[in-house]
Amino acid sequence: NQFAVDMTSRSSRKSFSSLQVYECGGGRQEQSRVTSVAWNADGRFLAAGSASSIRIVPVESLHIREPLADLRKHSKSVEGVDWHPTQKEVLASASEDATVHIWDIRASSSKLCRVIETKGPNSSICWSKDGKFLAVKIGNCTISIFSTLTWKVVSSHKFSNELSVRDMKFSESSDYLLVAGSGRVSILRISNERFKRVHAIQVACPTVACFCVQLSRNNRFIAIGAADSSVSLFDTRTLVNLETLYHHGSMVRCLDFSHDSRFIASGSEDDTIDISEVATGESIHVIESGGAANSMSWNPCHLLLAFSADVRTEYSNYYHSLRIFGAKGSDSSSSDLGNRNVLRYSHRM
């Protein structure tokens, strides 16, 4: 009933509001904008792509300055990172140097396993949930789908204008690819290793750019973040708009669902991270990020939110931070929200 829902929201809000921000990592000095963050399949490792490298951090060492690995084979900025869905130590990275790298962090020496050349600078990457395909955004308008059996392009789509591709995610079944762009999310379906556009999800205003798209881990909801500061929630079965959240004052640049699909976090150019309950749509906590959010990722097993932001200092310059919202250990569940901290790795310019 409504009373039970209100009490649940109030309890979540109270627990989240007790959190504080803690500086950690010692303020590592480097000109390194954190562009993309991702947890691996079992939540043991966090990858952070930047202008200079990919940093791999174990979940039990989030407060320690030095990472487990610092991968530096790309010649230009790393714009996207994503872990293999079942091979838990395998990572893919997409770079502006027109290559995709496949890494295995278990290797004792060179962790680079494969280099795939693309037809232009890459800005986003994602695995299908069954690991059979790798989608890469090339330039502003093109998505190429690689088979992971042959590492050849099996399908390529060029959209009509530079706003047409902002973000992309595979469905849980790996049968569909969702592509966020100009006022809508296009749905591509795979058949015989070919992708064909079969549907589109329209947000409230068709002229507003959609910047990010995400599916809940229980496969019930699609979330779309847009330039009009909205987060729209859709039913995956009917594609009906369930609710539209307006908890930001500027465009939404990134979002993600928690591991249990109870919460959705969204990052905006209004210098905040909002955490809302999916069931009610209520905002239960706001994190002052100090700058525009670039990327975020909830841990797949615990209530640990990794996010990056460009933070302006009192001296009018920026430092680039990777932060973790959650407990200092990995024992964080949605039924126990107390005693949380926000940990920060700082990458100062």
- List pLDDT tens digits, range 31-69: 578 899 999 999 999 999 988 889 898 888 776 667 788
> For residues 68 and 58, what is the distance between their CA atoms, to the nearest angstrom?
7
Q: What CATH number is attached to the domain comprising 34?
A: 2.130.10.10
> For residues 142 and 129, what is the distance between their CA atoms, to the nearest angstrom?
21
In a domain, 238, yes or no: yes
Q: Which residue, 310, 309, 306, is CA-closest to 343?
A: 306
Entry pTM: 0.88
In a domain, 303, yes or no: yes
Quickly state the pLDDT bin for 318 (edges 50, 70, 90). low
Predicted confidence (pLDDT) per residue in 136-192, tens digit:
999 988 999 999 999 999 999 888 765 578 999 999 999 999 999 877 899 999 887
- pLDDT, averaged across the chain: 84
Helices and strands (DSSP H and E) totals, the chain = 1, 30
Contact between 248 and 260 (Cβ < 8 Å): no
More confident residue, 11 or 3: 11
pLDDT of residue 42: 96
Quickly state the pLDDT bin for 195 (edges 50, 70, 90). confident
Predicted confidence (pLDDT) per residue in 224-283, tens digit:
999 999 999 999 999 999 999 999 999 999 999 999 999 999 999 999 999 999 999 999
| Total number of domains constituting the chain | 1
CA distances from 6 to 9, 284, 336 (A): 5, 11, 18
Instruction: Give percent of the chain with pLDDT exceeding 70.
Output: 81
Quickly state the pLDDT bin for 291 (edges 50, 70, 90). confident
In a domain, 333, yes or no: no
* Contacts (Cβ under 8 Å, ≥6 apart) of 19: 285, 325, 340, 341, 342
pLDDT of residue 161: 66
In a domain, 179, yes or no: yes
27, exposed or middle or buried, with CB in 10 Å at 0-12, 13-18, 19+? middle
In a domain, 5, yes or no: yes
Give the residue numbers spanning the domain of 256: 1-326
In a domain, 338, yes or no: no
In a domain, 349, yes or no: no
pLDDT of residue 65: 65
Residues in the chain: 349
In a domain, 343, yes or no: no
